[in-house]
Amino acid sequence: MRIAVLSRNPKLYSTRRLVEAARKRGHEVRVINVLRCYMDITSNNPTIHYKGTELSGFDAIIPRIGASVTFYGTAIVRQFEMMKVFSVNESVAIARARDKLRCMQLLSRRGIGMPATGFAHSPDDIDDLLHEVGGPPVVIKLLEGTQGLGVVLAETKQAAESVIQAFMDLDANILVQEFIKEAKGADIRCLVVGDRVVAAMERRAAQGEVRSNLHRGGSAQLVKITPAERRTAIRAAQTIGLNVCGVDILRAHRGPVVIEVNSSPGLRGIEQATGKDIAKMIIEFIENNARPGRTRTRGRG
């Protein structure tokens, strides 16, 4: 097969691993920087050009779209879908996952466990919103933050109000969330490929930190997940419509709660913690599922 990895940096661990796994299985693979793709959308015949030549003949793409290029990146993925190229994750699903509010709304509709979460526009509603999510301590998050940046724990009402006010003054979209204290700074990253959780790790926050992100100094180790956690991760992935993703779960007293679904999960942490060849599993998923035009949305939406 001919596979394209959409990534801005061929040297990144995840990109390198996907290229290596695809080659090992006899595929032709190319790394493509989405920001250098440009499109002709005027005609009936959708095309993508790249550094002066037309891109064609791909059987599948693996989008690894960074958070800072979501808008342009998903437009390019959509264009590939219009060209009937199979995408491991579809553009619509990536956009759903990127917007934490949209993601939470979709998960809530299916009754999937999540922290009580509120969203407001007007500073006048902060007080009531804090009350609605159970009062402080609360977690305040930028809607499009990643890697733990843009996540703040406010322990008192005063702290919460001033942080929310500051974000609102900057016109930043935020959500306010119940703080799951009993998780003790740890979360479970479930790596979903197809309709299975193929690996799971527990990430622990560094001393004095509530965010367990590896980018924030968290450490990872292999963990055995419960059947309820497994079910929750799979349902969350299916609800958002992602074939490959990282579902982040906190262990709350009331059971597993989903805090995030990541459409471009990093492979380094999870491969090292579990010793599993996730890149190979993603390539096998493509082998079993990629057919021309086999996208649910065909670039719509």
Binding site for ligand ADP (CB under 6 A): 115, 139, 141, 145-151, 177-180, 183, 187, 205, 210-213, 248, 250, 259-260
The answer to whether the CB of 68 falls within 8 A of the CB of 8 is: no
**Considering CB under 5 A, how many residues would be counted as binding Mg ion?**
1
Q: How far is the CB of 26 from Mg ion (least distance, A)?
A: 35
Closest CA to 168 of 143, 148, 147, 138: 143
- Closest CB to ligand ADP among residues 150, 217: 150
- Closest CB to ligand ADP among residues 151, 237: 151
- Closest CB to Mg ion among residues 91, 262: 262
Q: How far is the CB of 151 from Mg ion (least distance, A)?
A: 8
- Closest CB to ligand ADP among residues 148, 299: 148
In what side-by-side order are the strands of the sheet with 86-87?
28-32, 2-6, 60-63, 86-87
Angle (nearest 5°) at CA 265 between 264 and 269:
150
Q: At 170, phi and psi to the nearest 5?
A: -85, 5
Q: How far is the CB of 260 from ligand ADP (least distance, A)?
A: 4
Of Mg ion, ligand ADP, none, which one sits near residue 271, judging by CB under 5 to 8 A according to partner kind?
A: none
Site for Mg ion in 250-269 (CB under 5 A): 260
Of ligand ADP, Mg ion, none, which one sits near residue 278, judging by CB under 5 to 8 A according to partner kind?
A: none
Distance CA 120, CA 131 (A): 13
Residue number with the smallest Cβ distance to ligand ADP: 212
Q: How far is the CB of 78 from Mg ion (least distance, A)?
A: 25
Based on its alpha-carbon atoms, the radius of gyration of the chain, rounded to whole angstroms, reads 20
The pair of structure tokens assigned to 185 is 């700074």
Q: How far is the CB of 149 from ligand ADP (least distance, A)?
A: 6
**DSSP symbol at 67:** G
Q: At 130, phi and psi to the nearest 5?
A: -60, -40
State the first-to-last Cα distance of the chain, in angstroms, to the nearest integer: 27
Distance CA 79, CA 43 (A): 12
- Closest CB to ligand ADP among residues 50, 119: 119
- Closest CB to Mg ion among residues 46, 150: 150
- Closest CB to ligand ADP among residues 82, 188: 188
Over the window 58 to 77, marking each residue x when it contacts Mg ion by CB under 5 A and - when it does not, the resulting string is: --------------------
The pair of structure tokens assigned to 290 is 């990629």
Cβ neighbours of residue 31 closer than 8 Å, sequence gap 6 or more: 4, 5, 7, 10, 15, 19
Of ligand ADP, Mg ion, none, which one sits near residue 236, judging by CB under 5 to 8 A according to partner kind?
A: none
- Name the residues that contact Mg ion, by CB under 5 A: 260
